[in-house]
Chains A and B, each alone.
Chain A
Amino acid sequence: MSETVETTTDTETTTVDQDAPLRVENLEKRFGGIVAVDDTSFDVQRGTITGLIGPNGAGKSTTFNCITGALNPTGGEVYFQGEKVTGMRPEQIANRGMVRTFQIARALSEMTVLENLMLAPKAQSGETLWRSVMPGARSGVVEQEYEVRERVWETLEFFEIDHLAYEEAGNLSGGQQKLLEMSRAMMTEPEMLLLDEPMAGVNPTLEEKLLDRIHSLREDGYTFLLVEHDMDIIMENCERVLVMHQGKLLADGDPEDIRSNDQVIEAYLGEDI
């Protein structure tokens, strides 16, 4: 009974929100007695860069983890491309086209940059054990490896880290690892990217480069949700800004609205916005 109702809601929203690939409804996450995310709802429009800001401990990372399946929310729903993805495992969500990066860069440190990127593409035939091993089937795997290799080098050049290709990822600087993470995420050919503090630890030159890349990708139709600490970056680069405070969504609007929002100013204790 209840299922039928839900399906109808699903189809309705799918038709209504064609342009919002990600929709979060009344999301809630509790850890024991602590409410990290409390009744938060928002959506993200296709082909935009949306920023998610808030003071430390506001619940941004937890929200991220709940959206991408690293955590199971205790309440509310997450829809991606109209499909309910609440409670799915991270790989299921990633395979639907929503891919994330991490706040503290998680490079696969004993793998080379090349290996890191080679890993990412979806549905590689060689990920089936017997295809990788059986003599006949392996030639198909090898073919695909050449194709992936092509794309890997293109991506490395796009992010200008091709000179690091053979380096073990653990030897990269923090900023380079952030670039690596993003290029790795790009290799999965996602619909939407969730970037958790992509600029943290990145030097200004690199930061400029990274933002360039993000903008040119957005022009190609990619959708971005950005958690960022640096207010200036959010204000200058996002069409829309979401502000979280103490687990709740405090404000939602374009940068100008946010800048003049009294509640936001109060939450940031007079920090320069």
Chain B
Amino acid sequence: MTASETGSATARARISGWVKKTDRRFIASTVAFVYGLFAILIVLEQGLGLGTVNSIFGAWRTITFLFAAYALITLALNLHWGYTGMFNIGIAGFMAVGIYTMGMLSTSPDALSGQGLGLPLPIGILGGMIAAALVGLLAAIPALRVSSDYFAIVTLGLSEIIRLAAGSRTLSKWTTNTFGFGTGGGSGMDLPGRPTDSILDTSIGESFAELFVIDPGRIDLLLFEIGGEEVTLVSSSILSDFLWSLIMLLVMAGVYWLVRRIGYSPFGRVLKAIREDELVAQSLGKDTRRFKIKVFMVGCALMGLAGILWQGSQGFANPNSFRPVITFYAFIALIIGGSGSNTGSVVGSLLFVGLLFEGPRQVGAIISARFNLGNAPGTFDGAIAPLADFSFQPFLAYAIDNIAPLQFVLLGVVLIVIIQKRPNGMFGDRTETAAAVNLGKQEGNDE
């Protein structure tokens, strides 16, 4: 072994040691890794140019948004499955309850599709969370005594019932003389716009935007003038999306704090005991049903909130957005990170969104931009027939053209491999002691 090799090995060890030292560092490093990776991928796709900056921010916008959305759901799921061992695969349904309730409270009474009471948005959001929690209560009371695979099927069935109800004609419009509700049925439900967008429209928002703008009236950040021409580095739509994602990240931080606080408490200790062996917890005098119902309701409310912030931010809710597959994505994210760990939930969500969800598409875009693959064959036989003559180009073009299904094949395979080889994920092996204080014997009275 040469000196330089030893040096690089120690450097690597030092870096990984630094990264792993605290959760905050680990999360920050993962963020830097994923965001950096995408900057590189975009550059590979588009080359260096002024437009590239906008594209990079565009990719970051998507990642940030989806990361915050999945992290919210995954944290809530961690409360159910990771902490308490409740195998809830009806997440999509609870999200739908949250968002549709929000819509029925806050959508304008004369929306084009769907109908609500036009109440202020905070009431709608709170109402949505409460409704999701109540549906959770309704499901939990009878369902918590069945075994976990039955519980899974019950929650999945419930989530499908909710989705079908949201898409049904019967509930699409329901009016009395004075007011009306309606889900909009299969054509979806109009929702109130993002409050952050209206901030940019207010006088404060405008004056804030003016700080960054050369041409008044445009709110584009980093607007450059080159050779007499105005060049937008980051477009205003990306900026307003980022503003919303920032709100979501803040909420995510709040939920992280909440879930973590639950974990490091006597309440969380009982949850952990329920996960390990419910009869033991009962034999020590814990009324496990109350704990399970409570934590199930809290998790459902958070799932409702996640649904509102995620799907609800697009001004429109569609029953098809709440198919069970969304639940499975959340599971993949949690399993990657490690069920039972909040840091794992966050890191897993970011890796899922970056590497599994957006990554393959981006790689596909690079390949089709950098290599001239010619026209993609329209069908699979057109793609594989040329393989006989060792011509791989048509197949590659077909694969790039159909990157979406391939990506889901990858998702499935990753899920299988993780559950086989590393069921505890990245952080699942770690012991996060469930207590509000340090349990060391000679510790001083510090939290």
Contacts and interface: CB of A to CB of B under 8 A. Distances in A.
B296 to A, nearest CB: 12
A127 B295 CA distance: 12
A108 B261 contact: no
Contact of A99 (B273, B281, B285, B431): B285
27 contacts: A91-B285, A94-B284, A99-B283, A99-B284, A102-B283, A106-B277, A106-B280, A108-B272, A108-B277, A110-B276, A111-B269, A112-B433, A118-B269, A118-B439, A119-B269, A119-B273, A122-B285, A126-B436, A127-B286, A133-B258, A141-B265, A142-B437, A144-B266, A145-B436, A149-B435, A162-B441, A165-B441
Nearest to A169: B276
B273 A138 contact: no
B270 A127 contact: yes
Interface string A142-153: 101110010011
Contacts of B435: 114-115, 118, 145, 149
B282 interface: yes
Interface string A116-141: 00111010111111001100001001
B356 to A, nearest CB: 28
Nearest to A94: B285
Given A141-B436, A142-B447, A168-B431, A106 B286 contact: no
A184 B276 CA distance: 15
B437 A126 contact: no
B437 A145 contact: yes
Given A118-B439, A127-B291, A142-B436, 11 more contacts: A70-B283, A91-B282, A91-B285, A111-B434, A119-B269, A119-B273, A129-B262, A129-B295, A132-B265, A145-B266, A149-B435
Nearest to A95: B285
Contacts of A100: 283
B298 interface: yes
Interface in B235-277: 258, 261-262, 265-270, 272-273, 276-277
Contacts of B291: 127
A188 interface: yes
Interface of A: 68-70, 89-91, 94-95, 99-100, 102, 106, 108-112, 114-115, 118-120, 122, 124-129, 132-133, 138, 141-142, 144-146, 149, 152-153, 162, 165, 168, 184-185, 188
A69 B282 CA distance: 10
Contacts of A110: 272, 276, 431
B436 A112 contact: no
Interface string B97-141: 000000000000000000000000000000000000000000000
B287 interface: yes
A127 B267 contact: yes
Given A142-B436, A142-B437, A146-B445, A188 B266 contact: no
A126 B285 contact: no
Contact of B276 (A109, A133, A145): A109
A90 B285 CA distance: 7
Counting chain A CB atoms within 10 Å of each CB, which of B268, B284, B445 scores highest? B284
Contact of B273 (A70, A90, A108, A124): A108
Interface of A is mostly: helix
A120 B284 contact: yes
B294 interface: yes
Contacts of B436: 126, 132, 138, 141-142, 145
Nearest to A134: B261
B292 to A, nearest CB: 12
B288 interface: yes
B417 interface: no
B404 interface: no
Given A106-B280, A118-B439, A133-B265, A111 B270 contact: no
B266 A141 contact: yes
Interface string B413-447: 00000000000000000010111110101000101
Given A94-B284, A114-B433, A133-B262, A149 B267 contact: no
Nearest to A89: B282
B266 A115 contact: no
A114 B266 contact: no
B266 A126 contact: yes
B385 interface: no
Counting chain A CB atoms within 10 Å of each CB, which of B267, B287, B294, B298 scores highest? B267
A76 to B, nearest CB: 21
A152 B434 CA distance: 14
Nearest to A141: B436
A4 to B, nearest CB: 30
Contacts of A118: 266, 269, 434-435, 439
A102 to B, nearest CB: 8
Contacts of A152: 439
Contacts of A99: 283-285
Nearest to A162: B441
A240 B276 CA distance: 36
Contact of A115 (B261, B277, B433, B441): B433
Nearest to A120: B284
A158 B80 CA distance: 36
B279 interface: yes
A142 B281 CA distance: 21
Contacts of B280: 102, 106, 108
A152 B433 CA distance: 15
A114 B294 CA distance: 25
B91 to A, nearest CB: 21
A133 B261 contact: yes
A115 B265 contact: no
Contacts of A145: 266, 435-437
B434 to A, nearest CB: 6
Given A132-B436, A133-B262, A153-B441, A119 B284 contact: yes
A251 B294 CA distance: 47
Contacts of B285: 91, 94-95, 99, 122, 188
Contacts of A120: 284
B273 to A, nearest CB: 5
Contact of B283 (A90, A141, A142, A168): A90
Contacts of A132: 261-262, 265-268, 436
